[in-house]
Chains A and B, each alone.
Chain A
């Protein structure tokens, strides 16, 4: 046994025999293959995260606290995760116990008047949305979709998604948290700490929400969050989504005050201009360049396949070459999807008229091909519920995102030099060349998916260039790795630095274990402000004195140490 026998026995005493296991096959279910999605490193063919020492299913904050205290006593690393969909939630080292937060799945309360919910770790977006909708409310669903944990996104991971321009980034939406800190003490952040409710995450005085997370969270490396208060938003639609259709072509006909469009633009400048106009006038409920993840050349075919239950992926080549589909692709080349939601008939009418004005001013259009009923109803449901996000992997089973071009819309859509090619087209051309090698799906170079607004009200976004491959195929996987390495190099040459494809190299290395210190330090030292990570080291030493997390929480030693 990798952890002391008496420790295992004590852990079993805490959660009960039915809720702990160290069976090797069970433990292997808690290993993530590094050929897979949203981990922004690799892919590394047939490399897995380390096997845990045990997996536990705690059922309450008290159990979590007891576990963490025990881990401190025996100096055992622990790693919590809710839905386990990314390598971020898995151990970096041997002898780590995995906490599966599945049993803590309650919605503690929904305060309908003040528009917030208090949830446990395993409440997924689809469930919170369904319950909120009964009360005329909605929740932000972050990019990976509604199968993911709201708490995890808000406290520990990223947090932006298609509805962010209206419903905020989950970092903004977190208004309270209950946190079993890595030292075993429980902190309730904000008003909840004073027993006054969950309505505010800040204070008294300096906001400890700043300790919970920054641009991203600690990825489960600094304790366990057991409750989160999540801000909710208005939903002027039906109490239950009226979903019909045969799988996979589910669709919903919603009342006229909720409308979905795909917008196309004649140039990238026009595309960017439209984003700013939307934000200036606060129009839009959901806005995201979503379907482009299938690739510029294939998205027309894919939306047709997905919205027709008689079609399968087998039809993609024929459909992609069909003239009607090509027309659709052309119309959608510089596109994004938008949902308008009006609180009243006058509200939706104004918003739609205003959108038409924006389109007129920018030379854009509503893509007519996406307006025919099946596609319209399908895309509306898709964007509201975001329940199809493993479509990221539809082609061959593997995907990851390259580049990023994060920042203002002007950054991604403009050229580095006057008269040059917009960055978005530069990376498209670059990827198109690599597609010719055969290891990644030939989707048209531009697989860039991203939000129209990476924070509430808009402001910036991210262009994740979807790269699809087959994780079962060695050449494909290794070819994808080669491509990502080339993307990083391209980014360095272009001055924007390595992109999303290398985001987690600082934490996990090619063998699935912690990145060697010299490499880790080199990566973090190259950041604009390494000082931030030195402060994080102090924070870690203070609040995680036995270092029971892992390198996902970024730290740098002081120079000279």
Chain B
């Protein structure tokens, strides 16, 4: 696709501004009504999906050029997809998130990129990770862990740690816990260790389509060689990349689970018993790429047609990714299985959750915006009276840890895995 392929969307955008808010039915207060962090932070219309449609159209029509401001507009977006959900409550023929990604592809093609992204991409090309760390140290998180390395011996299920969990000292223990829990549940688990590379999800979000394809092809090739059929990951970005981007762009067929789905199944099958009390009042943060963007991939290749003269539909029936079928309940069910845990919900949850701020490579390129977004979420978590915010993605958790530390807040930050570990 190219940016011009979204011209119909650009002209059909009715400028209703629903893209700025959570679905209006779900507005519960003044404080937590906003859905789009980008416009909430930057305020100009341009920073909403509606605005980006207008910017894209302006560029296509040659009415403006890619200025620094345009670059800022295009990249100061966490690609969280809140706009996509809000739009689709009522509109069936708009794909704002796809269009926003297309804008990034377009800017990358034109060489209009951010130095922070350039730095990341160059590193990924060399070292295969988002963390600006050497590839050779990728497997260090698993040192001393008794676990198969699938490139050397086959395993039933591959645990993909992801870039963040592999290198982030505060989060490595979560990855280790994941492996330990799965093993205890009798899962034939293996890891890639130092051979693991970035899933490419963030690279795709940054606009580097070709780099993503290379990374994905590389990963799939290694998996195939290692005989991997099932992948479990604790990273929402990874989950999204493997389950939605890989099939879409590579036609790859892999069985992909997020760790919370897997744990949920194990608990319900009685293979994992959580007996120790963890007395904690928690609230759960839905990661964007696991929640609203975590819907199952449905292959589709078709075209736009019109019925009843001017009703725009698609032949064959096009899947409607509006967040309805994301991974929301498994993490919650896992938490509820832990004795002593009291789960309280924030105002913005599920398909209309507020983003953590890390996505779209905003953490790297716009730390202030990213931090502000996370701080907003922390504020929302505190408003529930929870003692801890729990998520299912190391990127979310890192952003929350930094936000809590910046404010001196006492709110604890956990991954679902951390609490399961405590309960075993």
Interface residues of A, Cβ cutoff 8 Å to B:
19, 21, 23-26, 28-33, 35-37, 46, 55, 57, 83-85, 100, 102-103, 105-107, 123-124, 126-127, 129-131, 134, 145-147, 240-241, 243, 246-248, 250, 252, 298, 309, 312-317, 381, 385, 387-398, 435, 438-443, 468-473, 476
A85 touching B16, Cβ below 8 Å? yes
The reply to whether the CB of B314 lies closer than 8 angstroms to some CB of chain A is yes
- Which one of B85, B89, B325 has the highest number of Cβ atoms from chain A below 10 Å of its Cβ? B89
Known: A298-B308, A440-B309. 17 other contacts (CB 8 A): A23-B67, A26-B55, A32-B15, A37-B14, A100-B45, A241-B25, A247-B23, A247-B88, A248-B322, A250-B26, A250-B89, A309-B324, A388-B24, A397-B91, A470-B312, A472-B12, A473-B310
A146 to B93: give the CA distance in the assembly, Å.
Answer: 22
B46 touching A314, Cβ below 8 Å? no
Task: Specify which of A32, A130, A443 is in contact with B308 (CB 8 Å cutoff).
Answer: A443
Among residues of A, the one whose C-beta sits closest to the C-beta of B45 is A29
Cβ of A40 to closest chain B Cβ, rounded Å:
15
Given A100-B44, A312-B320, answer yes or no on A127-B55 (Cβ-Cβ < 8 Å): no
B314 touching A314, Cβ below 8 Å? yes
A330 to B134: give the CA distance in the assembly, Å.
Answer: 69
Among residues of A, the one whose C-beta sits closest to the C-beta of B67 is A23
In chain B, positions 72-97 with a C-beta closer than 8 Å to chain A are 73, 85, 88-93
Cβ of A127 to closest chain B Cβ, rounded Å:
5
Q: Which residues of chain B come closer than 8 Å to A473, judged between CB atoms?
A: 310
A546 to B354: give the CA distance in the assembly, Å.
Answer: 45
Q: Which residues of chain A come closer than 8 Å to B63, judged between CB atoms?
A: 24, 28
Q: Which residues of chain A come closer than 8 Å to B92, judged between CB atoms?
A: 312-313, 394
Given A126-B24, A312-B320, answer yes or no on A28-B308 (Cβ-Cβ < 8 Å): no
Q: Which residues of chain A come closer than 8 Å to B88, judged between CB atoms?
A: 247-248
B24 touching A25, Cβ below 8 Å? no
Task: Specify which of B12, B23, B58, B312 is in contact with A28 (CB 8 Å cutoff).
Answer: B58
Given A248-B89, A314-B317, A390-B18, answer yes or no on A127-B12 (Cβ-Cβ < 8 Å): no
Cβ of B24 to closest chain A Cβ, rounded Å:
3
Question: 1/0 per residue B243-283: CB within 8 Å of A?
Answer: 00000000000000000000000000000000000000000
Given A25-B59, A35-B11, A84-B15, answer yes or no on A476-B67 (Cβ-Cβ < 8 Å): no
16 contacts between A and B (CB under 8 A): A21-B69, A25-B58, A25-B64, A25-B69, A26-B45, A28-B64, A29-B45, A29-B55, A31-B54, A32-B15, A36-B15, A131-B30, A145-B24, A250-B23, A385-B27, A390-B18
A438 to B311: give the CA distance in the assembly, Å.
Answer: 11
Among residues of A, the one whose C-beta sits closest to the C-beta of B89 is A248
Q: Which residues of chain B come closer than 8 Å to A241, judged between CB atoms?
A: 25, 28
Given A130-B27, A247-B88, answer yes or no on A312-B317 (Cβ-Cβ < 8 Å): yes
A381 touching B308, Cβ below 8 Å? no
Among residues of B, the one whose C-beta sits closest to the C-beta of A384 is B25
Q: Which residues of chain B come closer than 8 Å to A130, judged between CB atoms?
A: 27-30, 33
B310 touching A469, Cβ below 8 Å? yes
A328 to B317: give the CA distance in the assembly, Å.
Answer: 25
User: Which 10 pairs, one residue from A and one from B, show the smallest C-beta to C-beta distance?
Assistant: A387-B24, A397-B12, A24-B64, A28-B58, A25-B64, A246-B324, A23-B69, A390-B16, A126-B27, A29-B54
Among residues of B, the one whose C-beta sits closest to the C-beta of A131 is B30
Task: Specify which of A84, A103, A105, A385 is in contact with B25 (CB 8 Å cutoff).
Answer: A385
Q: Which residues of chain B come closer than 8 Å to A28, judged between CB atoms?
A: 54-55, 57-58, 63-64
In chain B, positions 305-360 with a C-beta closer than 8 Å to chain A are 306-315, 317-318, 320, 322-325, 351
A318 to B309: give the CA distance in the assembly, Å.
Answer: 15
Task: Specify which of A31, A247, A381, A468 is in contact with B322 (CB 8 Å cutoff).
Answer: A247
The reply to whether the CB of B287 lies closer than 8 angstroms to some CB of chain A is no
Task: Specify which of B14, B313, B351 is in contact with A398 (CB 8 Å cutoff).
Answer: B14
Cβ of B200 to closest chain A Cβ, rounded Å:
28
Cβ of B97 to closest chain A Cβ, rounded Å:
14
Q: Which residues of chain A come closer than 8 Å to B404, judged between CB atoms?
A: none
B28 touching A240, Cβ below 8 Å? yes
Q: Which residues of chain B come closer than 8 Å to A105, judged between CB atoms?
A: 30
Q: Which residues of chain B come closer than 8 Å to A389, judged between CB atoms?
A: 16, 90
B310 touching A127, Cβ below 8 Å? no
Cβ of B128 to closest chain A Cβ, rounded Å:
35
A396 touching B70, Cβ below 8 Å? no
Q: Which residues of chain B come closer than 8 Å to A25, judged between CB atoms?
A: 46, 55, 58-59, 64-65, 67, 69-70, 73
Q: Which residues of chain A come closer than 8 Å to B21, judged between CB atoms?
A: 124, 126, 147
B309 touching A442, Cβ below 8 Å? yes
A468 to B324: give the CA distance in the assembly, Å.
Answer: 27
A359 to B387: give the CA distance in the assembly, Å.
Answer: 55
Q: Which residues of chain A come closer than 8 Å to B318, judged between CB atoms?
A: 312, 314
- Which one of B7, B57, B90 has the highest number of Cβ atoms from chain A below 10 Å of its Cβ? B90
The reply to whether the CB of B294 lies closer than 8 angstroms to some CB of chain A is no
The reply to whether the CB of B384 lies closer than 8 angstroms to some CB of chain A is no
The reply to whether the CB of B145 lies closer than 8 angstroms to some CB of chain A is no
Q: Which residues of chain A come closer than 8 Å to B12, judged between CB atoms?
A: 393, 396-398, 470-472
A286 to B177: give the CA distance in the assembly, Å.
Answer: 55
A106 to B33: give the CA distance in the assembly, Å.
Answer: 13
Given A30-B45, A147-B16, A391-B90, answer yes or no on A127-B69 (Cβ-Cβ < 8 Å): no
A390 touching B14, Cβ below 8 Å? yes
A313 to B324: give the CA distance in the assembly, Å.
Answer: 16
Given A130-B30, A317-B308, A471-B11, answer yes or no on A57-B43 (Cβ-Cβ < 8 Å): yes
The reply to whether the CB of B403 lies closer than 8 angstroms to some CB of chain A is no
Q: Which residues of chain A come closer than 8 Å to B193, judged between CB atoms?
A: none
The reply to whether the CB of B236 lies closer than 8 angstroms to some CB of chain A is no
B91 touching A393, Cβ below 8 Å? yes
A397 to B15: give the CA distance in the assembly, Å.
Answer: 10
A126 touching B33, Cβ below 8 Å? yes
A70 to B102: give the CA distance in the assembly, Å.
Answer: 41
The reply to whether the CB of B13 lies closer than 8 angstroms to some CB of chain A is yes
A129 to B312: give the CA distance in the assembly, Å.
Answer: 33
A102 to B307: give the CA distance in the assembly, Å.
Answer: 38
The reply to whether the CB of B383 lies closer than 8 angstroms to some CB of chain A is no
Q: Which residues of chain B come closer than 8 Å to A145, judged between CB atoms?
A: 24
In chain B, positions 1-40 with a C-beta closer than 8 Å to chain A are 7-8, 11-18, 21, 23-30, 33
B308 touching A246, Cβ below 8 Å? no
A441 touching B29, Cβ below 8 Å? no
The reply to whether the CB of B51 lies closer than 8 angstroms to some CB of chain A is yes
A36 to B73: give the CA distance in the assembly, Å.
Answer: 24
A243 to B349: give the CA distance in the assembly, Å.
Answer: 12
A30 to B306: give the CA distance in the assembly, Å.
Answer: 30
Cβ of A446 to closest chain B Cβ, rounded Å:
15
B27 touching A127, Cβ below 8 Å? yes
Q: Which residues of chain A come closer than 8 Å to B325, judged between CB atoms?
A: 246
Task: Specify which of B44, B93, B310, B351 is in contact with A440 (CB 8 Å cutoff).
Answer: B310
B313 touching A316, Cβ below 8 Å? yes
Task: Specify which of A240, A247, A476 is in contact with B89 (CB 8 Å cutoff).
Answer: A247
Q: Which residues of chain B come closer than 8 Å to A83, judged between CB atoms?
A: 17
B44 touching A442, Cβ below 8 Å? no
A55 to B306: give the CA distance in the assembly, Å.
Answer: 38
A472 touching B90, Cβ below 8 Å? no
Q: Which residues of chain B come closer than 8 Å to A472, judged between CB atoms?
A: 7-8, 11-12
Q: Which residues of chain B come closer than 8 Å to A312, judged between CB atoms?
A: 92, 313, 317-318, 320
Cβ of A195 to closest chain B Cβ, rounded Å:
26
A226 to B27: give the CA distance in the assembly, Å.
Answer: 23
Q: Which residues of chain B come closer than 8 Å to A470, judged between CB atoms?
A: 12, 306, 310, 312
Cβ of A301 to closest chain B Cβ, rounded Å:
10
A390 to B29: give the CA distance in the assembly, Å.
Answer: 21
Among residues of B, the one whose C-beta sits closest to the C-beta of A128 is B30
- Which one of B57, B307, B311, B320 has the highest number of Cβ atoms from chain A below 10 Å of its Cβ? B311
Among residues of A, the one whose C-beta sits closest to the C-beta of B46 is A29
Q: Which residues of chain B come closer than 8 Å to A31, judged between CB atoms?
A: 54
Q: Which residues of chain A come closer than 8 Å to B89, judged between CB atoms?
A: 247-248, 250, 387-388
A424 to B44: give the CA distance in the assembly, Å.
Answer: 43
B18 touching A147, Cβ below 8 Å? yes
A31 to B55: give the CA distance in the assembly, Å.
Answer: 11
